[in-house]
């Protein structure tokens, strides 16, 4: 199987779907002439032309609204935000229009849009460019939220998102666009709402998603040297969330650690904790452990940022806490 970069997987997913359906188009800042801020749309302007790969002004509220109206009239736009930090400017269109139009129209309109772009920290980008909003969007009925962690999942999930008849928030990472992974050349999709067991284990379940899951892999390798067997679940889709896969794993391992790159209050790991304690409390041999960022805005200093972000050492400590407490 060939090996390609994350950005190439994203580009292939969009291009393959656009070849099949002329109603699909891409719009966003620098997606056309510049081949995308992260080169995730490289070559697409040449293939599809300026009517289907559209450079927009720096006006997220405006082009998010254009996409909603376009989708209501039969098109299937893909909207790229240079970062989801900038999507806050257009969040009214996402929350109050895209997410609600099917219900508010009594099913007369659907809104097949993919809003995609980077989420969370990407190095020294400081407080206003390092935020993870997955839980914000997942809190809103009518939206699906996807956060892939590798090229294979990115392509399969993005194709499924583009084919979906409802709005999908597809969140990537600036620090993953260069990541390489095996991706088949043939057609495939990954259904939304299905988690994936990335590593089988028996002693503890570690649940994570997005780029921070790499810290779980590193921790699992270290713990294996001590004879501790970790099962790692990549939820892939935050909403719909595959509760069944998590609960099934917890019933096997009897312990749960959740790793998420987000502030600790009211996040995805909070929701998972509640659900597991509601449905599998009698199987737990220790309290659930959550690992999040520090409860502050992201710092700019590289040394402070290192302390602010969750890391493999935090995972090791949390695993040992649920094992030996």
CA–CA separation, 208 and 241 (whole Å): 12
Pairing of strands 76-80, 24-28: parallel
How much helix, strand and coil, in percent to the nearest 5, is found in the chain? 40, 15, 40
Indicate if 271 belongs to the active site. Answer: no
| Cβ count near 66 (within 10 Å) | 17
Each residue's pLDDT tens digit, 200-217: 999 999 999 999 999 999
Each residue's pLDDT tens digit, 257-275: 999 999 999 999 999 999 9
Mean pLDDT of 3-31: 98
Count of the separate structural domains present in the chain:
2
Band of pLDDT at residue 60, cut at 50, 70 and 90? very high
Candidate list 129, 134, 215, 231, residue with the active-site label:
129
pLDDT of residue 178: 98
Whether the CB-CB separation of 134 and 272 falls below 8 Å is answered with no
Q: What would the two tokens of residue 6 be?
A: 């994350």
In a domain, 276, yes or no: yes
Looking at 182, 204, 238, the residue that finishes a domain is: 182
The residues with which 291 forms a beta bridge, in sequence order, are 259
CA–CA separation, 317 and 73 (whole Å): 52
Q: 46 is in which domain, residue-wise?
A: 3-182
Same domain, 113 and 33: yes
Q: Dihedral of the CA atoms 254, 263, 220, 316 (nearest 10)?
A: -80
Q: What would the two tokens of residue 92 be?
A: 């009214």
Same domain, 11 and 138: yes
Same domain, 168 and 212: no
Mean pLDDT of 81-87: 96
Q: Which residues contact 18 (CB under 8 A, 6 or more apart)?
A: 24, 25, 26, 44, 48, 52
Each residue's pLDDT tens digit, 112-142: 999 999 999 999 999 999 999 999 999 999 9
Q: Within its chain, how far is the Cα of 309 from the centroid? A: 17
In a domain, 305, yes or no: yes
Whether the CB-CB separation of 179 and 126 falls below 8 Å is answered with no
CA–CA separation, 207 and 10 (whole Å): 24
CA–CA separation, 8 and 264 (whole Å): 33
Indicate if 60 belongs to the active site. Answer: yes
Same domain, 47 and 99: yes
Q: What would the two tokens of residue 12 be?
A: 């292939």
In the chain, which residue ranges form alpha helices assigned H by DSSP? 6-20, 44-48, 60-72, 91-92, 101-104, 134-138, 151-163, 213-224, 243-253, 268-279, 302-308, 312-324
CATH of the domain at 302: 3.40.50.920
Whether the CB-CB separation of 280 and 310 falls below 8 Å is answered with no
Same domain, 207 and 143: no
Phi, psi torsion values for 36, nearest 5 degrees: 95, 145
Same domain, 211 and 316: yes
pLDDT of residue 297: 97
pLDDT of residue 279: 97
CA–CA separation, 248 and 264 (whole Å): 25
CA–CA separation, 292 and 262 (whole Å): 6
The answer, yes or no, to whether residue 325 has pLDDT greater than 90, is no
Candidate list 60, 134, 215, 271, residue with the active-site label:
60
Same domain, 231 and 282: yes
Q: If DSSP codes are grouped into helix, strand and coil, which group holds residue 321?
A: helix
Band of pLDDT at residue 294, cut at 50, 70 and 90? very high
């Amino acid at each position: 199987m060939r090996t390609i970069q994350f950005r190439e997987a994203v580009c292939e997913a969009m291009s393959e779907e656009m070849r099949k359906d002329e109603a699909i188009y891409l719009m966003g800042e620098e997606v056309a002439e510049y081949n995308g801020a992260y080169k995730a749309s490289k070559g697409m302007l040449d293939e599809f032309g300026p009517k289907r790969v559209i450079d927009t002004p720096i006006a997220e509220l405006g082009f998010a609204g254009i996409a909603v109206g376009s989708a209501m009239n039969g098109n299937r736009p893909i909207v790229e935000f240079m970062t989801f930090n900038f999507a806050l400017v257009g969040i009214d269109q996402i929350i109050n229009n895209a997410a609600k139009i099917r219900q508010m129209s009594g099913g007369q309109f659907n809104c097949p849009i993919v809003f995609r772009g980077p989420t969370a920290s990407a190095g020294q980008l400081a407080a206003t460019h390092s935020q993870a909003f997955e839980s914000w969007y997942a809190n809103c009925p009518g939206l699906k939220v996807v956060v892939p962690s590798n090229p294979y999942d990115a392509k399969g999930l993005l194709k499924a998102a583009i084919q979906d008849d409802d709005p999908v928030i597809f969140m990537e990472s600036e620090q993953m666009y260069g990541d390489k992974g095996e991706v088949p050349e043939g057609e495939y999709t990954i259904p939304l709402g299905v988690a994936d067991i990335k590593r089988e284990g028996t002693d503890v379940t570690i649940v994570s998603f997005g780029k921070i899951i790499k810290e779980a892999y590193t921790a699992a390798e270290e713990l294996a040297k001590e004879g501790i067997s970790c099962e790692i679940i990549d939820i892939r889709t935050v909403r719909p969330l595959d509760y069944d896969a998590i609960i099934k794993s917890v019933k096997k391992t009897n312990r749960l650690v959740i790793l998420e790159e987000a502030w600790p209050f009211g996040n995805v790991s909070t929701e998972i904790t509640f659900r597991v304690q509601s449905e599998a409390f009698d199987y737990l041999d220790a309290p659930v452990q959550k690992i999040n960022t520090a409860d502050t805005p992201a710092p700019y200093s590289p040394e402070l940022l290192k302390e602010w972000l969750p890391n493999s050492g935090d995972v090791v400590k949390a695993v040992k806490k649920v094992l030996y407490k």
